[in-house]
Amino acid sequence: MLETIFLNKQFSNPIVLASGILGVTGASLNNVIKNGAGGVTVKSVSKEPRLGHPNPTMAGYEHFFINAVGLSNPGIENAILELKKFKELSNAPLIGSIFAGTPEEFGWLAEKICEAPIDFLEIDISCPNVSREFGDPFAYSVPAVEKITKAVKEKSTVPISVKLSPNAWNIDIIAKAAESSGADAITAVNTISGMTIDVRARRPVLHNKQGGVSGPALFPIALKCVYDIYRAVKIPIIGTGGVTTGENALAMIMAGATLVGVGSAVYFRGVEVFKHITEEMTKIMEEEGIKNLNEIRGCVHL
């Protein structure tokens, strides 16, 4: 009922782990599959290992989560070892993820990460938390998106998905630029820029002061991004942002998503959330007489 074909690859269900959550080791990625995800995305990796920002880097609230992890990761060489470990443990689809400061470095990393047994490659050009180091996210600029997409496409041996920012007011135009530069898919969206303040301490909560907001509060924003992108491009979309329930996941698919990314919901509902979401989807589909997801994909556009 939930089987999904994404860029010629079969997924047992459309729910995939979003990048940056539980996604650093082969064992933790496999644990997510065991808990019901149809596929996994690894934490974004850079050329060299990165420590990220000083603590506190994360805070959870009733309706949202905020982080400024600062893309801490073990570097490409270590990441490749973990990706290989994952494929020894599981046959489930694996999405690699890279980020870099220049188109040339993105191209280099794309070639390198394809030494690992990944099925797809996501390009993170939309992290809102590293502007001081890298400048504004590339995902705000059509020429930058074009350059990076072309550089990665030239070197990648697997299909690529460009991950966009909900902060870009023209996300549909940005998506179109990625498509015409060779992207095979779009991941929408990354976190949205925000901040929280500890009133008693009279200080921002995060050491980095600002961070990326995810979780339920992001959901309607992400849904509208997917809706707009679906109208602009023909390539498939990984709808990500605030999905916490089966009902949210079905709404993403009705807006036009093929796969649905889930990250912060792990904070709200535990790692079992993948199983809960797929069960909730199945229940609603049975109640509504929906036999498969192709029947409803993009249906709100009719």
Ligand X SMILES: Cc1cc2nc3c(=O)[nH]c(=O)nc-3n(C[C@H](O)[C@H](O)[C@H](O)COP(=O)(O)O)c2cc1C
Side by side, the strands of the sheet bearing 210-214 are: 58-60, 65-67, 210-214, 192-195
In the structure encoding, which two tokens stand for residue 186, read together?
């779009």
In the bound state with ligand X, the residue whose beta carbon lies nearer, of 127 and 290, is 127
Least distance from ligand X to the Cβ atom of residue 64, Å:
8
Closer to ligand X by CB, 256 or 290: give it: 256
Beta-bridge partners for 145? none
Distance CA(40)–CA(16), nearest Å, equals 5
Pick from 190, 248, 258, 278: which binds ligand X (CB under 6 A)? 190
Among 15, 95, 226, 243, contact with ligand X (rule: CB under 6 A):
243
Task: Kindly state the number of chain residues that form the binding site for ligand X, as judged by CB under 6 A.
Answer: 27
Q: Which is nearer to ligand X, 172 or 290 (CB)?
A: 172
Least distance from C-beta 302 to ligand X, angstroms?
27
Question: Which of 13, 161, 165, 264: binder of ligand X (CB under 6 A)?
Answer: 264
Cβ distance to ligand X smaller for residue 58 or 232: 58
Closest-by-Cβ residue to ligand X is 20
Alpha-carbon gap, residue 163 to 83, rounded angstroms: 20
Instruction: Give the catalytic positions in this structure.
Output: 127
Q: Which residues are annotated as a binding site for substrate?
A: 43, 67-71, 190-191
Distances (CA, A) of 182 to 144, 179, 197, 229, 232: 14, 5, 41, 16, 15
Residue 104, H or E segment: helix 103-113
Amino acid at 196: T
Residue of 124, 146, 184, 228 that binds ligand X (CB under 6 A): 124
The smaller minimum CB distance to ligand X, of residues 150 and 269, is found at: 269
CB of 263 to ligand X, least distance (A): 3
Please say whether the beta carbons of 296 and 253 come within 8 A. yes
Tell me if residue 155 falls in helix, strand or coil: helix
CB of 243 to ligand X, least distance (A): 6
Count helices and strands (H / E) in the chain. Answer: 10, 16
For ligand X, the closer of residues 263 and 298 by Cβ is 263
- The binding site comprises 19, 43-44, 67-71, 163, 189-191, 215, 241-242, 263-264
Residue 65 interacting with ligand X (CB under 6 A): yes
Q: By CB under 6 A, is residue 19 in contact with ligand X?
A: yes
Work out whether 129 is an interface residue with ligand X (CB under 6 A): no
> Contact 181/150 with Cβ under 8 angstroms?
yes
As a whole number of angstroms, the distance between CA 247 and CA 285 comes to: 10
Paired strand residues for 4 = 11
The DSSP 8-state label assigned to residue 138 in this structure reads: G
Contacts with ligand X, 136-175, as mask; x by CB under 6 A = ---------------------------x------------
C-beta of 166: minimal distance to ligand X in Å? 9
Residues contacting residue 124 through CB under 8 Å, at least 6 positions apart: 19, 44, 71, 97, 98, 99, 163, 190
Residues 42 and 22: their CA atoms lie apart, in Å, by 8
Task: Please give the residue ranges that form the binding site for ligand X (CB under 6 A).
Answer: 18-21, 43-44, 58, 65, 67, 69, 71, 97, 124, 163, 190-191, 214-215, 218, 240-243, 262-265
